[in-house]
Amino acid sequence: MVPPVLDLEMVETVEAVLLVAAEAATASFEMARRTHRREELAEIIGLGGDGTPTSRLDQLVDEAVLAATEHARMNVLSEEAGWVDRGSAFTLVVDPVDGTANALAGVPICTFSGAVVVDDQPAVALTRWLDTGRDWLVRAGAPSDEAWCTTGRTALDGAAVSLLRPQATTRAAWSRVADQAARIRILSCSTFEAVLVCTAATDAFADPGGEVHRYVDLVAAQLYAAAAGAVVDDVLGRPIDFDTDLTRRWSGIVAATPELASELRRVITDDAEAQVPIA
């Protein structure tokens, strides 16, 4: 990934847009929980930009983010609104509430995740833990104030791994990973789990073949991984690149090292030859 070249003024502008988006998401999220019952927030009111059901909570936060950032005149790629083309070289990519099921249940593990992509390259990313207000901000190719690093673990044996919950189609692969790892967590918030890998809180996160991740779920992780020395990959080795088509999906892996990512791919696909490129 080649970092886009931005002058200092443009970097500050881009970061400001992301912070405005995060503030709008936080305010809307908190207001929604104060003024609506859980069952009202969980009501499905339509389909999002990716063709999946949208809850009232998702829509309220998404609308607030889009309204707050409209002045920037960037394109927008949002899980809920889809692709908004404003003819700009800059695209604001947002998942307004990642971990919606947690949020609706009152489980305090959900995030706002956003990134600005210049042409087709991620430039700046910000993830906010909505229940605490903690931010993780990173800029492509530049030092960060956050202690980005990984555990350095190279093998699944002894690893702590976050997984998406098993589905009928992924149960066998899920069990193979669980049988070899030392610890399994299911936190149900991919963007948060990517941050944990890239701050050495856990060794890896993986979707064991479920094909659930869109670009909005993985773009921030790419920047965090680049800063931390981690790996973001797809179980089947498909490139994770900018695409305005939100129906495109990946089985994402975020791992502390290329070796651990490679082993996860082999175990999930049950393919002894599966490899991940060594970055």
Tens-level pLDDT at each residue, the chain (279 residues): 666 656 556 777 889 999 999 999 999 999 999 999 999 999 999 888 777 889 999 999 999 999 999 999 999 999 889 999 999 999 999 999 999 999 999 999 999 999 999 999 999 999 999 999 999 999 998 665 568 999 999 999 999 999 999 999 999 999 999 999 999 999 999 999 999 999 999 999 999 999 999 999 999 999 999 999 999 999 999 999 999 999 999 999 999 999 999 999 999 999 756 654 444
Alpha helical stretches, state H, the chain: 8-35, 38-42, 56-69, 100-105, 171-180, 190-198, 215-228, 258-269
Do residues 75 and 88 make contact, with C-beta atoms less than 8 angstroms apart? Answer: yes
Examine the domain organization and report whether 125 and 170 are in the same domain: no
CA triple 77-121-195, angle to 5 deg: 75
Range of the domain at 19: 8-139
* DSSP classification of residue 7: -
Examine the domain organization and report whether 25 and 118 are in the same domain: yes
CA pseudo-torsion sign 180, 237, 231, 125 = negative
- pTM for the structure as a whole: 0.92
Q: What per-residue confidence (pLDDT) applies to 49?
A: 79
- CATH for 118: 3.30.540.10
CA pseudo-torsion sign 236, 239, 241, 247 = negative
Residue 278 lies in a domain: no
Examine the domain organization and report whether 243 and 181 are in the same domain: yes
Q: What per-residue confidence (pLDDT) applies to 277?
A: 47
Examine the domain organization and report whether 130 and 12 are in the same domain: yes
Q: What per-residue confidence (pLDDT) applies to 278?
A: 42
Burial class (CB in 10 A: 0-12, 13-18, 19+), 143: exposed
Examine the domain organization and report whether 80 and 43 are in the same domain: yes
**Of 110, 139, 168, which residue constitutes the final position of a domain?**
139
Examine the domain organization and report whether 58 and 176 are in the same domain: no
Examine the domain organization and report whether 124 and 164 are in the same domain: no
**Of 73, 107, 139, which residue constitutes the final position of a domain?**
139
- CATH for 216: 3.40.190.80
Residue 111 lies in a domain: yes
**Of 139, 170, 203, which residue constitutes the final position of a domain?**
139
Examine the domain organization and report whether 178 and 130 are in the same domain: no
Residue 2 lies in a domain: no
Phi, psi (rounded to 5 degrees) for 156: -70, -35
Examine the domain organization and report whether 85 and 183 are in the same domain: no
Examine the domain organization and report whether 121 and 15 are in the same domain: yes
Residue 154 lies in a domain: no
How many residues make up the chain in this entry? 279
Examine the domain organization and report whether 37 and 130 are in the same domain: yes
Examine the domain organization and report whether 131 and 30 are in the same domain: yes
Q: What Å distances lie between residue 158 and 32, 179, 252, 262, CA to CA?
A: 41, 11, 21, 16
Measured distance CA(73)–CA(85) in Å, rounded: 10
Structure tokens at 180: 């070899």
Residue 95 belongs to what H/E stretch? strand 90-98
Residue 96 lies in a domain: yes
Residue 146 lies in a domain: no
Which position has the token pair 């066998």?
172
Measured distance CA(112)–CA(226) in Å, rounded: 20
Residue 279 lies in a domain: no
Q: What per-residue confidence (pLDDT) applies to 24?
A: 97
- The structural domain count of the chain equals 2
